Amino acid sequence: MSSVKPRRRIPIVGSLGRTARLTWLEVVKLFGHKLFPFILLVTIVLTVVLGLVGKHFSQGGASVKFSNYSLWVVSATYALRIAMILLVALGAMALSSEATSRTLNTLLARPIRRVELAAAKALSLSIATLAVVCVAALAGYVVGGTVADRGTSGHVINVDGETEWQEAPWWQPSYGDVLDPLYPDTVISPMSEVMGTIIGGFALLAIPALAAVFVGLVIGALVDSAGLAVGLSVGVSVTLVLGEFFPGFVEYCGRYAYTYPVPKLATLMLNAGKGTLPVWDDVMGGIGVSCIYIAAGVLVSLVVFCRRDVTL
């Protein structure tokens, strides 16, 4: 009588399954935490407020005028600058809060490997960061396309045999080709080209945002106290933002900061909204530095967390 041997499970498949389940639980935990919904709310409110301020300048007598594309980029990128400071704090709390509340002991008492838990933390933080960037880009798109001058937004309709111009509703975003201000019939850049550049810019903005989160994750892995980890991470982030106002800092240290490509990308997207052909060379160098921060952050936090002494 032949016996059927049970199939052996591939270890990596089981590990990936546990990591996926832990990632889902961490995502649910993040959305249930007060800080992450607060970051989303701050991002949306700042984007809307900045868009309305831009509308005031555009319709008033000020010399600064914003187009739909400019309102989109300015409102979303400035809101993301503030959101990145809060995202650093979120990354710092990911591991330090577990140690402070002693829930880490309970988690590690289960059949879970430390590397799986650390990977789940990193993946959930990445999902949260991408969500913040998408929210900022979407909110900026809606606000920028609805608060600017609507005189040229609409379509021709037929009413009782006669054609009439019907303006687009206030809630419908409207963008168009970039036209020459001196010759309105001349298209400088088509809408598809400008949209592609701006959307690509927002996709690249996710990389320095992720770098900020993983810098916070490293600080959280090194510091057991959640309050101290958040304070240090926010201090580092604010210092880098304020350093951009000092030419010496930008010249000697700015290129090595993960925040370096953010203003460069914002300027590139603004120029694209004016019909200028984008040049990505300098931006991609800064993106490469941000990628180094991400890789180093994941590696250091993983090593430190796996070597941490936890007394049950």
Report if residue 253 sits inside a domain. yes
Please give the Cα distance from 92 to 69 (Å, whole number): 34
Residue 143 and residue 71 in contact, taking contact as beta carbons nearer than 8 Å = yes
Report if residue 279 sits inside a domain. yes
Residues 6+ apart with CB under 8 A from 125: 30, 90, 91, 94, 213, 214, 217
Other CB atoms closer than 10 Å to residue 150's CB: what's the count? Answer: 16
How many structural domains are present in the chain? 1
Please give the Cα distance from 306 to 43 (Å, whole number): 34
Report if residue 11 sits inside a domain. no
Residue from 231, 227, 264, 257 nearest 242 by CA:
257
Please give the Cα distance from 123 to 286 (Å, whole number): 23
Report if residue 263 sits inside a domain. yes
Q: What is the mean pLDDT of residues 260-267?
A: 89
Burial class (CB in 10 A: 0-12, 13-18, 19+), 250: middle
Report if residue 289 sits inside a domain. yes
Helix, strand or coil, per DSSP, at residue 136? helix
Report if residue 12 sits inside a domain. no
Report if residue 6 sits inside a domain. no
Range of the domain at 146: 22-307
> pLDDT tens across 81-116, in order?
999 999 999 888 887 766 655 565 565 556 667 787
pTM for the structure as a whole: 0.83
> pLDDT tens across 131-173, in order?
999 999 999 999 888 876 554 554 445 555 666 556 666 666 7
Report if residue 274 sits inside a domain. yes
- DSSP β-ladder status, 178-179 and 162-167: unpaired
> pLDDT tens across 164-220, in order?
556 666 666 778 788 777 776 777 888 888 889 999 999 999 999 999 999 988 888
